[in-house]
Structure 1
Amino acid sequence: GHQPPGRGPRGAPEARCLWCCSAKPPRAHHCCVCGRCVRKMDHHCTWVNNCVGEDNQKYFVLFTLYMGLASLHLLLLLGIPVMRSHAQGEWDRHSTVSPRRSLMYLFLVALIAFLLNSTMFAMQMYSICTDRTLIERLQRDRGLPRKGSPWSSLKAVFGHRVSLAWLSPFASPEPQRVEEHHWMV
């Protein structure tokens, strides 16, 4: 049936955001940068200039994973030759200009990028498996009931059917069901 204005699907009063005055679904938070409420908002990421939330968490996780792997690849490309030539004492003997300082800077940048991306990837995987966003953990929001296991949370973010599509940024997961009669797209 038809619900009166300002009422949710079960007749309960609908929550409104104090900042944007729009209907605020459960587990949504207002982002002051984006100027809107985001369902299951984890944080606003300046790297991607967007909020990480329910609709794009898979893509942010893949971004941090692939950036971490690229940084690790760069570390290996820089680190192995540097260590090999340093151990054999060939660096100063065969070169008129020592690449030591510039290679060390690149190595440090790659190391910092690897540590940063690996940490962010681990934090996102923890958020998914515990079904708690960073904002909810910071607010110590323990009152919300959680449904399902870490495995069901992973499937909700990456797709219900386990496949290589989980690793593809071109494959969209199925829309998540928010309540009995509403789909969040």
Structure 2
Amino acid sequence: MIDIMAKLGSFEMFAALCVPFLVLFEILFSHSYILMIFAQYVLITILFIPEENSVAKVINIAVFEFFTFLAFAAHLRTMFTDPGAVPKGTATKEAIEQLGLIDGQVLYKCTKCCSIKPERAHHCSVCQRCIRKMDHHCPWVNNCVGENNQKFFVLFTFYIAIISIHALILVCNHFMKCLDNDWRLIDPNSSSISSSAALSLSNNRIDHQKNSNINLNKNGLHSSTTSATAPINIILLICVAFEGLLFAIFTLIMFVVQMQAIWNDETSIEQLKKETDKRWSRRQRWRSLRAVFGLKGFSIEWFSPFTKVEPLCYAIESPNYNV
């Protein structure tokens, strides 16, 4: 076993160790739409609808739905945008002769898809294509993250992290209110509820139940108190809290990793392989950010999944070659 591991490079060893975790994340996040719709249903029916109308309620609904919409849009843009696939079959003798290369100029060819590889392009074993400035293949979006769609992927992780943290805060706040309503009548000098407090609490619950039935018959709405104490609703809220925590941790990690890669102008593959014979010079950090999010400079468009990005391509320096 030691001999086998010794023969593997650092990149192969890291990839082998990551396989179980990648499989787990693929199973969980391949059903991201189902999980997001489930969270929407629970929060709307248990938290938002029963709550009395207030400014805070309107703001919470508007913020949550706004970022959910942006997350869906960013996910679709990441999924259906060409990440920067290099055309196949371009490494033929005739095509190379048409490039007009000068003597001594080095040309790189991918033997797997028979294409001329621009600088920083890597072959994806899943897509069976060479991808310009490929960062990784993401099963969450069923696409590679590359030169043309990295912005959308970063925005997707950012928006998912926001709505996950927001949902987690809403659920925790709801549970805190429930605990406050149920235990505020406890005798502060005793570890048990006094008889008068218990009787008052019981009467209050009966009154709330009667009011809930009346409201249900008239308006078809659930009482917030009844919903809060229903066991099935507690289970659903716990599931949403766990989902929010899991998504928040994972997407925040992905967001930080992606931003670090953009800031250093080095993709995840390049970091793992630790390539020393780089055929390109790193961009300045601000220029690297502009290359991913927008060449016009920092603006609201950087946070929009609907604006098209014109990346600064790394290509072969020949006027007759365009990928």
TM-score by length of 2: 0.51
Superposed displacement of residue 27, structure 1: 0.8
Using structure 1 for the length normalisation, give the TM-score. Answer: 0.85
Q: Which residue of 2 aligns with 1:125?
A: 259
Identity over the aligned pairs, expressed in percent? 41
1:153 matched to 2:288? The reply is yes
* Equivalent residue in structure 1 for 2:109, among 9, 13, 16: 16
User: Secondary structure at the residue paired with 2:281?
Assistant: coil
Moved over 4 A (4+): 6-11, 93-96, 179-185
Work out which of the residue numbers 277, 285, 293 in structure 2 matches 1:143. 277
Larger radius of gyration: 2
Count of paired positions: 182
Could you tell me which amino acid in structure 2 is paired with residue 107 of structure 1?
A: A
Deviates more, 1:60-69 or 1:97-106: 97-106
Question: In 2, are the aligned partners of 1:16 and 1:24 still within 8 Å (CA)?
Answer: yes
CA change 1:10–1:173 in 2 (3 A) is farther
**1:139-180, CA deviations, whole angstroms, 9 ceiling, x for partnerless residues?**
112432533322111011111222111111111122424355
Larger RCO: 1 or 2 (CA < 8 Å, sep 6+): 2
Question: What's the counterpart of residue 111 of structure 1?
Answer: 245
The one-letter amino acid of 1:106's match is V
Q: What is the identity, as a one-letter code, of the residue corresponding to 1:5?
A: E
Secondary structure of 2:230's counterpart equals coil
What residue is the counterpart of 2:161 in the other structure? 68
Aligned to 1:176: 312
Q: Deviation per CA, 1:104-163, whole angstroms, max 9, x where unpaired? A: 121011110111111111111011001111111111124325333221110111112221
| Structure 1 CA distance for aligned equivalents of residues 294 and 98 of structure 2 | 33
Letter paired with 1:118: L
Shift of 1:18: 1.8
Higher strand proportion: 1
Compare the two structures and name the one with the higher helix fraction: 2
Kindly report which structure 2 residues correspond to 1:7-86, keeping only aligned pairs within 5 A, or say none: 9-11=101-103, 12-86=105-179
Which ranges in structure 2 are unaligned for 5 or more consecutive residues? 1-94, 184-201, 206-225
Aligned Cα root-mean-square deviation (Å): 2.6
CA distances 1:11-66 after superposition (whole Å, capped 9, x unpaired): 52421102111111111110111110001100001111110011110111111111
**What is the identity, as a one-letter code, of the residue corresponding to 1:47?**
W
SS in 2 for 1:176: coil
Tell me by how many angstroms 1:86 deviates.
Answer: 2.6
What secondary structure is seen at the aligned counterpart in 1 of 2:157? helix
Q: Distance in 2 between matches of 1:51 and 1:166?
A: 21
The answer (yes or no) to whether the contact 1:14–1:23 under 8 Å persists in 2 is: yes
Instruction: Flag structure 1 segments of 5+ consecutive residues without an equivalent.
Output: none
1:97 is the counterpart of 2:190: no
Write the letter of the residue equivalent to 1:35: Q
Alpha-carbon shift at residue 83 of structure 1 (Å): 2.4
1:37 match: secondary structure: strand
Q: Which letter does structure 1 place at the counterpart of 2:249? A: L
